Amino acid sequence: MARDAFITEAEIAGNESGPLADATVAVKDNISTQGVPTTCGSAMLEEYVPPYDATVVEHLLDAGATIVGKTNMDEFGMGTTTETSAFGPTENPAAPGHVPGGSSGGSAAAVADGEADLALGSDTGGSVRCPAAFCGVVGIKPTYGLVSRYGLVSYANSLEQIGPIAPTVEEAAELLDVIAGPDPNDATTRDEGADSEYAAAADGDVDGLEIGIPTELLDGAHEGVVETFWDAMDELEAQGASTHDVSLPSLEHAVEAYYVIAMSEASSNLARFDGVRYGQGGGFDGNWNETFARARRDGFGDEVVRRILLGTYALSAGYHEKYYDQAQAARAWVKQDFDEALDDADVLASPTMPIPPFELGESLDDPMTMYLADANTTPVNLADLPAISVPAGETDGLPVGLQLVGPAFGEETIVRAGSALA
C-alpha cells in the first residue's frame, strides 16, 4: 500500500483495564487527535495539529485502546476510492491492484491487512460501508445522532456519522458499544440507544427475521455481485429468515438529491479553509481576494474544488429553490419510503456496492461513474438510518458486501442479522 493506511505514525495508549485494553485502533484522518496531525487527506491541512481529542477518541482511550495511527482517506471525505488523497492512493490488501473503497479506505485497509485490530471511519454517503465491502471486512454506519461528531472535520453535517470497521460483526459491535452515546458537545446526539449492548446482540440468531429486498437496489448491479447477494440471502433463509421484495420508488432520485445536499453543505463547511483561519497561507500581497483564492487553489484537490463549485451553484440566488429545496423534498420522500418498508420488515437487504472494487486509476477521470457507485449507500444517509456491511462472498476473486438496513436506533437488529454471516 502506498504509505499504506497510515499518514502519520502515532501510538497513544489508553486505560489498561478498559474493554479495549488489548486492542489496537486506527483512526481516520478527519477525526481530531490531540497533538497528532489531522490532515483530512488534504494539502490544505498538511501541518494542522488539533489541540483536542474528538469525543470518540476520548472514548477509545477511556476504554483502553491503543491508537496506532491515522488512516488515509479521500480528501475531506470526497470520494469512493481513497485516490483523491493529497498523500497518494491506498491499495486494497484484499484485492491487490484495486481500490479499497472510500472515503475511509485507509481504515478498512488497515483492518483487512492486520495493521490494526479495529478502526474508525466516517460515513457521509457510504464511506464506512463501501470500503468495508471492497476490503472484505465489516463496517457499521450508525443512526444519525447515536455517535458524537464532536471533533470530526465536517463535510456534510446533516448526513455524516462516525462508525466502526472490524474483521467481524461482534468486534465492530464492541467498538460501537464504546463510542455510542449522547455528548453535550454535540447537540445532534440522542439518548436513544445509549443503554443498548450491541456486542451482546451478535448472537447470529435470525430465526423468524423478516428481510425486505428493495428491487431498485439490484437493478443495474454487476451480475456477479447480484449472484453473490442471492447466495447470502439463501444462507440467511437456511438459518430461519424469510424474504420478500419491496419497492422504494424514491430511490430513482436519491443519488441526485444526496449530491446536491452534500455538495451544498461542503461548500458552506469548507469556506473556513482560506489560509487565514485554517489551512496553508496564500502569501498576502495586498489583495485579500487573491490571497484567499491562491490558498484554496493550492490547498484543495480537483474533486474538492468540483464539489465546492457545484454546491455553491446549488445554493446561489435563483437556483436554491430549483436544486437545494427540491433535493430536500426528495430526501423526505426517501425517508418515508424506508420507514414504510421497515413497517413490514425487520431489515432491508441489498448489495452494499453495485459493483466490485475498481482497479486503481480506473475511475479518476470519470467522476460520474464514481458518484453512481454510491447508489445503494447514499439513500441510508438521507433517511438517517443505521446500516451494516458484512462480507457476502466474492465475484471473480473480488470481495462483495451485503448491506443490511434497520429502523432508526435499530443497531441491535442489524448486528444480530449481520452476525449470522460474519
Q: Is residue 268 assigned to a domain?
A: no
Question: Counting beta carbons within 10 angstroms of the beta carbon of residue 188, is it exposed (0 to 12), middle (13 to 18) or buried (19 or more)?
Answer: middle
Residue 28 designated active-site: yes
pLDDT at 298: 85
pLDDT digits (tens, 9 = 90+) for 123-136: 999 999 999 999 99
d(CA 417, CA 422): 9
pLDDT digits (tens, 9 = 90+) for 95-151: 999 999 999 999 999 999 999 999 999 999 999 999 999 999 999 999 999 999 999
pLDDT digits (tens, 9 = 90+) for 339-384: 999 999 999 999 999 999 999 999 888 888 889 999 999 999 999 9
- The pLDDT of residue 11 is above 80: no
Grid cell 496506532 in the structure block, residue: 68
- Per annotation, catalytic residue among 28, 32, 42, 196: 28
Count of domains in the chain? 1
Q: Is residue 197 assigned to a domain?
A: yes
Taking the CA atoms of 119, 125, 58 and 2 in sequence, report the sign of the dihedral they define.
positive
In 169-250 the beta strands, taken as DSSP E runs, fall at 210-214, 242-246
Could you tell me the CA-to-CA distances from 382 to 208, 216, 308, 331 in Å, in that order?
A: 29, 16, 20, 6
Question: Counting beta carbons within 10 angstroms of the beta carbon of residue 409, is it exposed (0 to 12), middle (13 to 18) or buried (19 or more)?
Answer: buried
Question: Counting beta carbons within 10 angstroms of the beta carbon of residue 9, is it exposed (0 to 12), middle (13 to 18) or buried (19 or more)?
Answer: exposed
pLDDT at 15: 63
Residue 127 designated active-site: yes
Q: Is residue 272 assigned to a domain?
A: no
Q: Is residue 322 assigned to a domain?
A: no
Grid cell 445554493 in the structure block, residue: 315
* CATH number of the domain within which 171 lies: 3.90.1300.10
Q: Is residue 259 assigned to a domain?
A: no
Q: CB under 8 Å to 368, separation ≥6 — which residues? A: none
Overall pTM > 0.85: yes
Q: Is residue 289 assigned to a domain?
A: no
- Per annotation, catalytic residue among 32, 42, 85, 103: 103
Q: Is residue 122 assigned to a domain?
A: yes
Residue 268 designated active-site: no
Owning domain of residue 212 = 6-249+333-419
- Per annotation, catalytic residue among 32, 85, 122, 127: 127
76: how many CB neighbours lie within 10 A of its CB? Answer: 30
Q: Is residue 202 assigned to a domain?
A: yes
